[in-house]
Structure 1
Amino acid sequence: MERNNRSKKEARKKELVRELGRIINALKKDKEIKFIMLFGSLARGDISATSDVGMIIVKGTKKKFLDRLDEIYSTLVPNVALDILVYTPEEFEAMKNTNVSVMNAVKEGKILYEP
């Protein structure tokens, strides 16, 4: 049972890493992106069979929060579960010291792309 669990976790990790690479390549085309940060279990390395890809995307935009998410999800057409937050630079700066979720993401996260 332990071996089967480990192989499921390894398979999930490979799937997430492969999809993450595809996502980053797709997002690099967006010239408004300031940086992309990975957070959550994939960033920490404690992946389970149900892990998703958690990312904070900071980009210069005037779009409303939900419109930003729609734009990103329709651009990416994800093949795995994603937890994506899209902030403007100003929003991110304000939230990184006041929002517990963002503070944790900053603490444990990894910058994956910064042009």
Structure 2
Amino acid sequence: MADLFKTTLKNIVIALQEYQPEKIILFGSAAEGKFGAQSDLDLFILKKTKKRFMDRIGEVLDLVAEFEIPVDPVVYTPQEFSRAKKENRMFIEEVLGKGKVIYEAA
């Protein structure tokens, strides 16, 4: 299972580069090393865009639909991310505190 996870995660990151994210952070159980047969990949994606929140998620899901492991993406703009950090939102604290950066644009 660990090999499938690592290979799939690598391929998902490659597929998502087409989406031109600034950063991708793996969070949740997979980031904590608790990945199991029923797990999905929780991804926090930072991207400059003017699209609506749900449309962003749909774009990501379209790009990762072919993979065996389900992906649960959350896509924030830099402005949304900055605002959420200032407001000390627990979700952002979890992503930053326990998440692992798996991609960062050069």
Could you state the TM-score of these two structures normalised by the residue count of structure 1? 0.81
Larger radius of gyration: 1
Superposition pairs for residues 93-108 of structure 1, below 5 Å? Answer: 93-97=82-86, 98-108=88-98
Pairing 1:22–2:6 present: no
Structure 1's unaligned 5+ residue stretches are: 1-10
Match of 1:57 in 2: 45
Match of 1:82 in 2: 71
State the alpha-carbon separation in 2 of the partners of residues 96 and 42 from structure 1: 23
State the alpha-carbon separation in 2 of the partners of residues 48 and 65 from structure 1: 28
State the alpha-carbon separation in 1 of the partners of residues 103 and 29 from structure 2: 18
Greater RCO, CA 8 A, separation 6+: 2
Could you state the TM-score of these two structures normalised by the residue count of structure 2? 0.87
Q: CA RMSD in A?
A: 1.4
More divergent stretch after superposition (41-50 vs 87-96): 41-50
Match of 1:8 in 2: none
State the alpha-carbon separation in 2 of the partners of residues 41 and 63 from structure 1: 28
Q: Describe the SS at the equivalent of 2:18.
A: coil
Match of 2:59 among 67, 71, 89: 71
**Following superposition, which runs of at least 4 residues in structure 1 exceed 6 angstroms of deviation?**
none
Aligned residues: 103
